[in-house]
Chains A and B, each alone.
Chain A
C-alpha cells in the first residue's frame, strides 16, 4: 500500500507537471494531425487512403510523443538533481522507473487516439479489430517509452536527448514497414527492420486495421514484449551503473 502511494503520486506529479501542460497537449494534438495531413495529401487517393494511413500515423504519434517527452523530462530532472530525491526514497528502483515511465505511456496512448478520432469522422472503421488494435497501441507506447528511457539514461544533456532520439526514430519510420512494406526493402536493409521494436507493433496495427499481417499476433506480442523487457532492464542497469556511482 505504502509503495503504491509513492507510485501513484510520482505518476500523478509527472502528468500534472509535464504531460498535461497546455503546450504538450497542443503538441500531442498537432503532431498527429500534421502527420495525417501530410500522408493524406501525399497519397492523393482522397478519403480511401485514410485506413491505409491509419496504422502509420498512429504508430508515429506514439513514437514521437513518448520518446520526446520521456527523454527530455528524465534528463531534465537528472540535470537539476530532483531525480536524486526519487532515488533517495524507499522505493524499489524498478517501481520508481515504472512510475516515471507510466505518464509517458498514458501520453503515448492518448496521442494514438487523436488520429483514430479524426478517422472516425472520415472513414468507416467497422472493419478494425479493436481487440488487437488497443493492445497493439498500448504495447507500442510501452516499447517507445522504454526506448525514451534508454535514451534519457544514456545522455546527460537535454539537447543530447533530442538528437539521440532522432538517431533511433527516423530510421525506424522507414524501416519498420509502416509506410514501405518490409518485403520491398533492399535485401541488406531487411535484417535491420527485424531488430526494431516498431516493426512488430506496425505489423500488429496492420493486422488490426487491414487484416493483413506478416507474423502471427502472439509472435508480434511476444517479440514486442521482449523488446519492452530488454529496454527496461538495460535502462535500469545503466541507472545503477551511471547514476548510483
Chain B
C-alpha cells in the first residue's frame, strides 16, 4: 500500500468557528508532504485530528491502513509528533527525556539508552546530554524535541513549524536533519509558514486557507504555473510615499508590490529592463541599493493562489509566537 495517510472529507468545528472543512488528501509512503497556510488556517487542528489529539466531526482518516476515525489511538505506534512548542520535561536531562520518550513506546532499557545516545550525537547535542532540558537554548530544545519524536523510529513523522523562532544556523541544521530523515525513508508531514523552507524540503504541498485546501500539487508543477513570470526585487531608501503610483503611471505594464518602505517587488509577463526602472527611481529622489532579478518561487504561487502576502503571513505568526512567549 503506497498511501500511508488518506484523509477524506475531514471537518471540525469549535463552537461557531469552522476550523477545518471537507479536507481530502493523501500522503504517500516516503513522501515529504508540506501543509502550508496562514495563521488560523486549520493546520494544527488537522495535525491534532491526524494524531488522535482531536476528534473530527466528519470525514475519515486512515493511517497505515488503520481507520483512525473508528479507532483514534490505534495508529499511534506508527507516528511520531513534533509539536510547534517544545514540550519535553524541563526537570529531566536531554538523555533522560529521550529515554523516557522511548519507554513510552515500550523500548527496553539497553535499546532506549543506545538510541538516545545515537540521536544526541546525530543532533549535535552529545555535549548537553546530561544538562537539564529547561536550561537548553531554543534551538537545542527544538532539536531534542525532534529527536524525541523519532526515538521510536516511526514510519510517519508529523512536524509542526519545526524551525519557527530558531536562529539561521539552528534552522539550517534542523532542515538538514529533516532532509536526512526523509532520505532514510521516513514519511514526513510538515507544516510551516516559511515558504522557502517548504519549497526546499517538500515533494508535494497542500495550501490550506480558512480550513479548506485550495491546491495540492508537487512543488515542480506548482512553480511551473509561474515560471513565465519575471520578477525584480528593488531595495532602496528615501523613497517618496507615492512612489508606487508614480511607477504604475510610468510603467503601466508592470505589476508592483510594495514590501515596506524600502523594498519594491516588480512582476511582469515579459523580461523586465532593470536600467530604466532604477534610473526612474533615482530621478524621483530614491537611493537604490540593490536591484535583483528573482527566480519565480513557491512564494509567487502562494500569493497567486491565496491572495495572501507570504511575508505578512510569516510576520503575523512570528508576532503571535513572541506574544505567546
Contact = CB atoms under 8 A, between A and B. Distances in A.
B107 A5 contact: yes
A90 interface: yes
A80 B87 contact: yes
Residue picked from A13, A80, A92, most chain B C-beta under 10 Å? A13
A126 interface: no
Given A5-B103, A245-B14, A88 B53 contact: yes
Contacts of A117: none
Nearest to A88: B81
A13 B108 contact: no
Contact of B52 (A2, A3, A8, A88): A88
Interface residues of A, number: 25
A41 interface: no
A86 B55 CA distance: 17
A82 B73 contact: no
Contact of B83 (A1, A84, A91, A93): A84
A87 B52 contact: yes
Contacts of B52: 87-88, 244
A13 B98 CA distance: 12
Contact of A13 (B48, B76, B100): B100
A85 B88 contact: yes
A81 B106 contact: no
B72 A244 contact: yes
A88 B76 CA distance: 6
Contacts of A245: 14, 48, 53-55
Nearest to B99: A9
A89 interface: yes
A85 B104 contact: yes
A1 B106 contact: yes
B51 A88 contact: yes
Contacts of A82: 87-89
A244 B87 contact: no
A14 B103 CA distance: 14
Given A88-B53, A88-B76, A244-B54, A13 B92 contact: yes
A85 B73 CA distance: 13
Interface in A1-43: 1-3, 5-6, 8-10, 13, 17
Contacts of B48: 245
A178 to B, nearest CB: 35
A88 B79 CA distance: 9
Contacts of B251: none
Contacts of A88: 51-53, 76, 79, 81
B246 interface: no
Contact of A90 (B76, B85, B87): B76
Nearest to A83: B87
B104 A10 contact: yes
Closest 7 CB pairs of A and B: A2-B106, A9-B103, A89-B104, A81-B87, A90-B76, A90-B77, A245-B54
Interface of B: 14, 48, 51-55, 72-73, 76-77, 79, 81, 83, 85, 87-89, 91-92, 100-101, 103-108, 148
16 contacts: A2-B106, A5-B103, A6-B105, A10-B104, A13-B100, A80-B87, A84-B87, A85-B87, A85-B88, A88-B52, A88-B81, A90-B73, A90-B77, A93-B73, A244-B55, A245-B53
Given A6-B104, A6-B105, A87-B52, 5 more contacts: A87-B53, A88-B51, A89-B76, A90-B105, A245-B55
